[in-house]
Amino acid sequence: MDLLWYLSRIPGARGLWQRYPVGSIPDRVRFGIWPRPHYAYGVNFAADLANNLGLREVCVIEFGVAGGNGLLALEDCAGRIGNHYGVKVHVWGFDAGVGLPLPIDYRDFPHLWGEGDYVMDVAALKARLRSAQLILGDIAETIPEFLQRAGVPPIGFVSFDLDYYSSTTAALKIFEGPQGSRLPRTLCYFDDIIWPEAACHSEYTGELLAIAEYNMAHETCKVAKVANFRWTRAHAAEWNEQIYAHHDFTHPLYNVKLRASEQLHLKP
């Protein structure tokens, strides 16, 4: 283990580092020294992969903006991390703008959420955004329009925070655009697969059901949990269990070898 790993385990050291976030971008991402470390990791993954593939632009998306704190955090991550890699990270946020719709049935957790929850103050949020773009309306309509836009760079990270099975099913259609609309591997964060406990999350409801149905319907594209991700982190955290990746196995860039790995030689 390296010195930073040991230092980060000194009582109070991580809290101090959070308060005064100094150090390199990769180190801060590695140790989760961000207000929303899952967003920082997702943006870093997207920018790093784009850079490896020789791309100078990439986009990241938040589905379910609500009050807007997450979109502002994503915008901040995009600017700082994108500058580090020399990659322009574009940010889009999708939301109805008027709160949640009516649940379609038990799969949308009507015992937890209902029509009108999470209403957005659109004017207040737009006044605070610097570069992120807000797309308002029914995502069943706004996603196809977005995928047809000219000049939109490939998608590298998506946060799904739509609460409902039905809305998440609609949002996963972001991966049904042409292959050039996404990176070969797109990191995904699913907010509603752990909490609240009263949901009793399972593969028969909510986001987990939407993921399972997407995988059943697509032979060469799969949304899969990143195996053992929690145990590869410098500090394990709850959000580690919410990290997935969209794999497009026939993407023309899927098999491109990334930066050279360390070669192992026989010791003399």
Domain-wise residue ranges, the chain: 33-248
pLDDT digits (tens, 9 = 90+) for 208-233: 999 999 999 999 999 999 999 999 88
pLDDT value for 268: 72
pLDDT value for 259: 83
pLDDT value for 110: 97
Closest CA to 207 of 63, 89, 93: 63
Closest CA to 67 of 131, 118, 138: 118
pLDDT digits (tens, 9 = 90+) for 235-258: 889 999 999 999 999 999 999 999
pLDDT digits (tens, 9 = 90+) for 79-92: 999 999 999 999 99
* Burial of 64: CB neighbours in 10 Å, binned 0-12, 13-18, 19+: buried
* Burial of 3: CB neighbours in 10 Å, binned 0-12, 13-18, 19+: exposed
CA–CA separation, 168 vs 100, rounded Å? 12
pLDDT digits (tens, 9 = 90+) for 137-183: 999 999 999 999 999 999 999 999 999 999 999 999 999 999 999 99
243-248 sheet: strands from edge to edge? 133-136, 88-95, 57-63, 155-160, 182-190, 243-248, 221-225
CA–CA separation, 97 vs 151, rounded Å? 25
Over 80: is that where the pLDDT of 263 sits? Answer: no
Superfamily of the domain at 33-248: Vaccinia Virus protein VP39 (3.40.50.150)
CA–CA separation, 256 vs 50, rounded Å? 12
pLDDT value for 21: 83
Beta bridge pairs of residue 243: 189
pTM score: 0.95
Mean pLDDT score across all residues of the chain: 94
